[in-house]
Amino acid sequence: MAMAEINQAVHAGFSRKRAFSLAVPAAVLAYLIYVAIAFDLAGLAARARWDNGALLLQDFWSYKTHVTR
Amino acid sequence: MRIEAQNITRIFGSTRAVDAASFTIDRPMMIGIIGSSGAGKSTLLRMLNRLTDASDGQLLVDGRDVLALRGGEKRSWQSDCAMIFQQFNLVGRLDVVSNVLHGLLNKRGTLSTLFNIWSRADIDRAIAILDRLGIAEQATKRAEALSGGQQQRVAIARALMQDPKIILADEPIASLDPMNAQVVMDTLRAIHDEDGRTVICNLHTLDTARRYCDRVIGMRKGRIVFDGTPEQLTTGVARDIYGAGVDFSETATSTAIGGDTGGDREYAEQMLTD
Amino acid sequence: MTDIAQISADYRGIAGRKRLYSFLLWGIFAALMISGLRLANDRNAGGFWDGLPQIFAFPSELIGEAIEKAGALPGHMLSYLPALIETLNIAAVATLIGVIGGGFMALLATPGLAPWPRLVPLFRRMLDIARAIPELVIALVFIFVLGGGPVPATLAIAFHAIGALGKLFSEVAENASPKPVEGLESVGANWIQRMWFGVLQQVGPNWISYAMLRFEINIRASAILGFVGAGGIGYALRNAISWGQGRYDAAAAIFILLFLTIVTFDQLSSMARERLVRGNAGGRI
Ligand SMILES: Nc1ncnc2c1ncn2[C@@H]1O[C@H](COP(=O)(O)OP(=O)(O)OP(=O)(O)O)[C@@H](O)[C@H]1O
Ligand SMILES: [Mg+2]
């Protein structure tokens, strides 16, 4: 193999590697964005009942049970 | 560049692996370190590269104590002080060029290296170094697919990629056959001669040290017991370094090759002396 | 090498976990069906227990009805597709979080690789805790706070997955060769670079293999959590059954859909794992 060929093969290999290592995180990110929309993450904060969470935490502290399920 | 080691010491539990080692290197040279197994050669080299922390002492490089460096400054020193290992220590699953480019990891941004983003110039330089070492043909192969001698040359290429002031080599030829051993030692010598880099090399055969080095340091039980030219390294001195009796023979100085490979070793000596 | 025995023992452990989840899933499914039938029976005529002998008539009734309404099945299956996709999304995102979180935790908890060696026991303990709490318990807490829907289920499964995968990942990483890492350290590479190039290159195939097994488990877990109100196909099934009679065809559609999905993903995953192992002769499993 001549040096020119080696050079070309190496550079082509690195272009491929670079494209791949950028495409994978990009795909993951795109998927997460899609899921965030599908799961209505934005609306979740509004729906969350933090008072419930506080109540649940209180149960850990006191013996008086608020949560009965 | 002036390198001054002052009382470098490393204590493992109760053993003083390296005991107050001091030496000065005031100009680029090729130094061989010899000594029997357990003498502390590897520990000394690893302390110079900061793979192992020293218990005591200083290594002044142009007046700066590199043994006291921490974090990023320590890694920056490591990038100026390349290390070559007996077992090559390459990333076997990655291709050869990637392994060579790893020599730049400290000098390039973390994120870009993680995403395999290297400049054209860096890749070209890696190929040029591989070409200089005669293994450009292997550039796109996986490192683990190469022979031992080829892998060691990839490791040397990685070291050269660092453009280091010093190259440390811990028994670089101990797991190679005689022919590859000679190629690797010739390469290290050429790097010293052509680039003017200091090369410090742990060796397990006296002949190799005599043949390739400008200066030989002998260690015994953690202490430096000899520091001089190869000519001063007589059989009597060698006997002291290795702590052997009158039946001492120079072919018994190998630490890496076991009993039944004696034939190989003789062959190696032959190869290296003729 | 003893790690081979260790890892194949882990593998059998995961396979057992998968069987348990399958059993739970189909068990709950059957229980829901029966209770649904009972409900319908109560409304139709007499008591369930009076008509106990008739229980053998149920399957025939069910099948008869299914055949009768066979034409409606494809339509039902289509209408439950969004719910199925939600179940799969829950499992996939939870697995993704589990792999990333578990991977980080594993490296922090592996002696020899950890950036803070003294904190290794702490991170191990955290993984143990995450693994010890069942998904269902975490899910109930999250549902209570966040309300129903897919997010609490995802968080619950992900939390458990971090613990389970973290431990397995750490075992694999412990058996990785330290030589490449040392080589990278000698050039002055930082911790992230050492882990990325020195460790992940070695453990990658095994980690992916474990992650795919976890995905298979998580699909089941996600369907089960649906039954307790965490969205997806499990939730759809609960509604189909508990809202009275005559919806066995819908339940059958859900059953077929879920069954086919699980079989398909198990097959895909085992094929992919097979390839990983074969392309990785030195790396085993
Ligand atoms: N990580 C360690 N923990 C404890 N003791 C160590 C460690 N590394 C080295 N030692 C001890 O320090 C001493 C010197 O070891 P070192 O590896 O430096 O010797 P060496 O001259 O390189 O020997 P060889 O020729 O066999 O490679 C030995 O007694 C060894 O047991
Ligand atoms: Mg040694």
The pocket around ligand 1, CB under 6 angstroms, is made up of B 12, 15, 17, 35, 37-43, 255
Closest to B197 in 3D by CA, of B24, B5, B30:
B30
**For residue C96, which residues of chain A lie inside 8 Å, CB to CB?**
28, 31-32
Burial (CB < 10 A; 0-12, 13-18, 19+), residue C246, is exposed
- How high is the pLDDT of residue C154? 92
What is the Cα–Cα distance from B171 to C92, expressed in whole angstroms? Answer: 49
**For residue A23, which residues of chain B lie inside 8 Å, CB to CB?**
none
Task: Specify the pTM.
Answer: 0.85
> Which atom in ligand 1 lies closest to the alpha carbon of residue B52?
1
- How high is the pLDDT of residue B25? 93
Q: Name the minimum distance, in Å, from the CA of A20 to any CA of chain B.
A: 9
**Residues C166, C38 share a domain:** no
Q: Are C236 and C261 in contact (CB under 8 A)?
A: no
Q: Do B123 and A11 touch (CB under 8 A)?
A: yes
> Which atom in ligand 1 lies closest to the alpha carbon of residue B10?
12
Please name the residues in contact with C105: beta carbons below 8 A apart, sequence gap of 6 or more: C123, C126, C127, C162, C166, C169, C170
Task: Using the mean position of ligand 1's atoms as its centre, give its distance from the Cα of residue B43 in Å.
Answer: 6
Q: Which of B95, B115, B136 sits opposite A6 (nearest CB)?
A: B136
Among chain B residues, the shortest Cα distance to A6 is held by B137
Return the DSSP state at A68: -
Which protein residue's CA is at the shortest distance from atom 6 of ligand 1?
B12
> Which atom in ligand 1 lies closest to the alpha carbon of residue B36?
25
Q: Does B69 touch chain C (CB under 8 A)?
A: no
**Residues C207, C86 share a domain:** yes
- How many beta-carbon contacts under 8 Å exist across B and C? 75
Q: Which residues of chain C have pLDDT under 70?
A: 1-7, 33, 35-66, 242-247, 278-285
Query: Could you tell me if residue A30 is inside a domain?
Result: yes
Q: Does B93 touch chain C (CB under 8 A)?
A: yes
Q: Which of B95, B97, B117 sits opposite A18 (nearest CB)?
A: B117
Q: Do C145 and A39 touch (CB under 8 A)?
A: no
Give me the DSSP letters along chain B: --EEEEEEEEEETTEEEEEEEEEEE-S--EEEEE--TTSSHHHHHHHHHTSS--SEEEEEETTEEGGG--HHHHHHHHHHEEEE-TT----TTSBHHHHHHGGGTTTS-HHHHHTT---HHHHHHHHHHHHHTT-GGGTTSBGGGS-HHHHHHHHHHHHHHT--SEEEEESTTTTS-HHHHHHHHHHHHHHHHHH--EEEEE-S-HHHHHHH-SEEEEEETTEEEEEE-GGG--HHHHHHHHT--TT--GGGG-SSS-GGGHHHHHHHHHHHH-
Single-letter amino acid code for the residue at C242: S
- How high is the pLDDT of residue C239? 78
Q: Do C89 and A39 touch (CB under 8 A)?
A: yes
Among chain C residues, the shortest Cα distance to B111 is held by C193
Other residues' Cβ atoms within 10 Å of the Cβ of residue A61: 7
- How high is the pLDDT of residue B263? 45
Query: Could you tell me if residue C139 is inside a domain?
Result: yes
**For residue B123, which residues of chain A lie inside 8 Å, CB to CB?**
10-11, 14
- How high is the pLDDT of residue B164? 93
Q: In what order do the strands lie in the sheet with B215-220?
A: B81-84, B166-170, B198-202, B30-34, B215-220, B223-228
Torsion sign, CA atoms C97, C100, C102, C104: negative
**Residues C105, C6 share a domain:** no
Cα angle for residues B45, B238, B176 (degrees, 5° grid): 55
Closest to C103 in 3D by CA, of C52, C11, C43, C169:
C169
Query: Could you tell me if residue C79 is inside a domain?
Result: yes
- How high is the pLDDT of residue C231? 79
Domains of chain B: 3-273 (3.40.50.300)
Length of chain B: 274
Q: Which of C141, C144, C146 sits opposite A44 (nearest CB)?
A: C146
In the numeric block, which tokens belong to residue B182?
């000679």
Mean pLDDT, consecutive 10-residue stretches, chain A (69 aa), reads 85 92 94 92 74 67 56
- How high is the pLDDT of residue B175? 85
Q: Name the minimum distance, in Å, from the CA of B95 to any CA of chain A.
A: 10
- How high is the pLDDT of residue C285? 36
Query: Could you tell me if residue A13 is inside a domain?
Result: no
Task: Using the mean position of ligand 2's atoms as its centre, give its distance from the Cα of residue B41 in Å.
Answer: 6
**Residues C200, C228 share a domain:** yes
Q: Name the minimum distance, in Å, from the CA of A32 to any CA of chain B.
A: 20
Q: For helices C135-146 and A50-61, what crossing angle results, to 10°?
A: 130
What is the Cα–Cα distance from B81 to C210, expressed in whole angstroms? Answer: 39
Closest to B55 in 3D by CA, of B12, B3, B23:
B12
Which protein residue's CA is at the shortest distance from atom 26 of ligand 1?
B37
Give me the DSSP letters along chain C: -HHHHHHHHHHHHHHHHHHHHHHHHHHHHHHHHHHHHHHHHHHHSS-TTTTGGGGGHHHHHHHHHHHHTGGGHHHHHHHTHHHHHHHHHHHHHHHHHHHHHHHHHHHHTSTTT-SSGGGHHHHHHHHHHHHHS-HHHHHHHHHHHH-SSHHHHHHHHHHHHHHHHHHHHHHHHHTS-SHHHHHHHHTT--HHHIIIIIIIHHHHHHHHHHHHHHHHHHHHHHHHHHHTT-SHHHHHHHHHHHT-SS-HHHHHHHHHHHHHHHHHHHHHHHHHHHHHHHTTGGG--
Query: Could you tell me if residue A35 is inside a domain?
Result: yes
**Residues C23, C160 share a domain:** no
Work out how many domains chain C is built from and give that number. Answer: 2
**Residues C133, C6 share a domain:** no
- How high is the pLDDT of residue C56? 55
Query: Could you tell me if residue C56 is inside a domain?
Result: no
**Residues C68, C166 share a domain:** yes
Give me the DSSP letters along A10-65: HHHHHHHHHHHHHHHHHHHHHHHHHHHHHTTHHHHHHH--HHHHHHHHHHHH-SS-
Q: Do B78 and C190 touch (CB under 8 A)?
A: no
> Which atom in ligand 1 lies closest to the alpha carbon of residue B219?
21
Query: Could you tell me if residue C49 is inside a domain?
Result: no
- How high is the pLDDT of residue B232? 87
Burial (CB < 10 A; 0-12, 13-18, 19+), residue B107, is middle
- How high is the pLDDT of residue C174? 93
Q: Are C136 and C234 in contact (CB under 8 A)?
A: no
Q: Do C197 and B102 touch (CB under 8 A)?
A: yes
**Residues C231, C205 share a domain:** yes
Which CA distances in Å does A58 have to A53, A55, B28, C141? 9, 5, 72, 13
Return the DSSP state at A67: -
Q: Do B85 and C192 touch (CB under 8 A)?
A: no
Task: Using the mean position of ligand 1's atoms as its centre, give its distance from the Cα of residue A29 in Å.
Answer: 48
Which protein residue's CA is at the shortest distance from atom 8 of ligand 1?
B43
- How high is the pLDDT of residue C271? 86
Q: Which of A11, A14, A17 best tests the B interface by mutation, with the highest count of B CBs <10 A?
A: A14
Q: Give the domain extent around A44.
A: 23-61
**Residues C114, C232 share a domain:** yes
Torsion sign, CA atoms C211, C215, C221, C222: positive
Which CA distances in Å does B106 have to B102, C186, C248? 8, 10, 65
Query: Could you tell me if residue C203 is inside a domain?
Result: yes
Work out how many domains chain A is built from and give that number. Answer: 1
pLDDT per position as a tens digit, B213-235: 999 999 998 999 999 898 888 88
Task: Using the mean position of ligand 1's atoms as its centre, give its distance from the Cα of residue B203 in Å.
Answer: 15
Closest to C43 in 3D by CA, of B95, C51, B222:
C51
**Residues C77, C37 share a domain:** no
Task: Using the mean position of ligand 1's atoms as its centre, give its distance from the Cα of residue B17 in Å.
Answer: 6
Which protein residue's CA is at the shortest distance from atom 14 of ligand 1?
B40
Q: Which residues of chain B have pLDDT under 50?
A: 246, 254-264, 267-268, 271-274
Q: Give the domain extent around C25.
A: 2-44
Single-letter amino acid code for the residue at C42: D
**Residues C100, C18 share a domain:** no
Q: Name the minimum distance, in Å, from the CA of C77 to any CA of chain B.
A: 42
Query: Could you tell me if residue A45 is inside a domain?
Result: yes
What is the Cα–Cα distance from C111 to C108, expressed in whole angstroms? Answer: 8
Average pLDDT score, chain B: 87
ipTM over 0.85: yes
**Residues C77, C10 share a domain:** no
